[in-house]
Amino acid sequence: MKKLKFERKYWLFVGLAFASLFLYSKTSPLYWTNDWVDPNAFMTVGRGIIHGLVPYRDLFEQKGPLLYFIHALASFTGNNFFGIYLIQSLLLTSSLILFYKLGRLYLPEYLALIVTGLLPFLMLNGSWYEAGDSAEEFAFPAVLSLIYLIFRGNAGWQDYYIQGLLFGSLFWIKYTMIGPWLGFFLFVFFQRQFWKLLLSSLAGFLTISLPILLYFLANGALGDLFEVYFKVNMTAYPRAQGDLLAHFGNALSILGGFLLSQPLLTAIFILGLFGLLLRRNLAILIFLVSFLTTVLAQFYGGIVFPYYLFILIPFVAVGLVGLALPLGMLFTFEGKFVKIVGSLSLALGLLLPLAVNDNLASSRLFVKEAPVTVIFAKIIGRRPNSTLLNYAWLDWGFYLAANKIPNVKYFEYQNISYLLYPEVENGQDSYIASQRTDFVVVLASQLDPGKQALIEQYYQLVAESQGYLLFEKK
């Protein structure tokens, strides 16, 4: 494996990564907070780990443990998402470098810089990029690393080890994201590189997996890990009904809907691949097999949230390289022109996302009023050592704003079936009836008469703001 030399031009990518996420990701200090429920749940569990709580056993959440460990690390920056912003920016830097190196396999330097500058435009599109900090964002540089290896070729033991490490990382973040490697490993297997692949990639997989398994084993929570992360996700999470072929059909249908709804991206993807097909037939075949297994793994359940589509964007981005090929054959520039293009690529990366991402409108530049999480946190803070329950919905961010660690297992609702897993809702109702927490926060629109009567029997309303209600124990 060739060493990744940190060239001077890579500092352009560092600047682009930190600046673009500062503008468009709600994890950045430019925003009051990240108001998306998923990142707040990740952060609550991560902060819980720092305080000795164990995911799944003490705090019920559904994503993979590595995602929570990452948020535990990020939580050292305080009650905010700044740590995640830093991690995201470093990951985006690596994505830009990898994409530039991919471009340089086929393009002159100036064109590789231009197409790299277009990457944030594809990544930060609001159709799949919500507020920042989805599990799929952690997969982006890993998938690009695999794609780069596919097109570069000549994989060795070290390459397979790294891919096993990345495969393992995503397996323990969200296992439906391992699809790209399924196709790649399958193809390498048929190339009779089985033992090289197996031993090297298995070593990488175990490097990340053994510490995780030992953590849960040491805490007596190995059973909880498998019960929630695998069994509950496979049996109680919403999914379309049907047999294996029906699920495959659902996945392909979701892909078709995505391609039809994004004509520009579809054109980039298809036309770009035709351009590359003239240069590397075998690499394109491996690439397409990997893309197909990505679609099947990510959308097998037949249910799709917008951010699920994010994992397809590294594949779409490859089309930019193919589209630029004719220009690279016709025009070659060096010297000062390349430096000018480097600056232009930075400007493109910063400005073009404005056309497809409207997060900036909710930044501190335009929103002067503090969010409800901050307002309620001040009230909750008046009661020393108080506890809090986020009732009847996913994590809105009140735990983070109020600097509270949940004292109950079911600290939020989940997108799972009550009929298949009633423990979450029943557990939260029991916390209300036993007054397990000093405060309860709920979205007014989520309060049906039965739940409202339950709360009012044991708690009194102390604050109301922006559609949320804060109750305090009587």
Nearest to 26 by CA among 176, 137, 169, 142: 137
Task: Provide mean pLDDT across the span 3-12.
Answer: 73
**Predicted pLDDT at 196:** 79
Question: How far is it, in rounded angstroms, from Cα 180 to Cα 188?
Answer: 13
Mean of the pLDDT values across residues 73-102?
97
Contact 423, 411 (CB under 8 A): no
> pLDDT tens across 15-56, in order?
999 999 999 999 999 999 999 999 999 999 999 999 999 999
Phi-psi category of residue 55: left, alpha or beta, with phi > 0 → left and psi -120 to 50 → alpha: beta
User: pLDDT of 170-193, one tens digit each?
Assistant: 999 999 999 999 999 888 877 767
Percent above pLDDT 70 for the chain = 95
Stated as kind and residue range, the H or E segment containing 303 is: none
Q: What is the largest CA-CA distance in the chain?
A: 77
Backbone CA torsion sign across 139, 186, 213, 1? negative
pTM value is 0.94
What does the block give as tokens for 82? 């700044």
pLDDT at residue 331, as a whole number: 64
Q: How does the average pLDDT of the chain come out, rounded?
A: 92
Q: Mean per-residue pLDDT for 314-337? A: 82
> What is the enclosing helix (H) or strand (E) of 271?
helix 263-277
Give me Rg for the CA atoms of the chain.
24
For residue 113, give the nearest of 353, 352, 355, 337 by alpha carbon: 337
pLDDT at 390 over 80: yes
Least confident of 64-73, 267-276, 326-335, 439-448: 326-335
| pLDDT score of 198 | 84
Q: Which pLDDT score, from 0 to 100, does residue 2 have?
A: 46
Q: Provide the pLDDT for residue 334.
A: 66
Residue for token pair 């048929």: 190
pLDDT per position as a tens digit, 130-186? 999 999 999 999 999 999 999 998 888 899 999 999 999 999 999 999 999 999 988
Q: Is the pLDDT of residue 97 over 60?
A: yes
What span, in angstroms and rounded, lies between the C-alpha atoms of 21 and 26? 8
pLDDT, mean of residues 110-130: 93
Determine the pLDDT at residue 1: 42
Give pLDDT tens digits for 356-385. Answer: 999 999 999 999 999 999 999 999 999 999
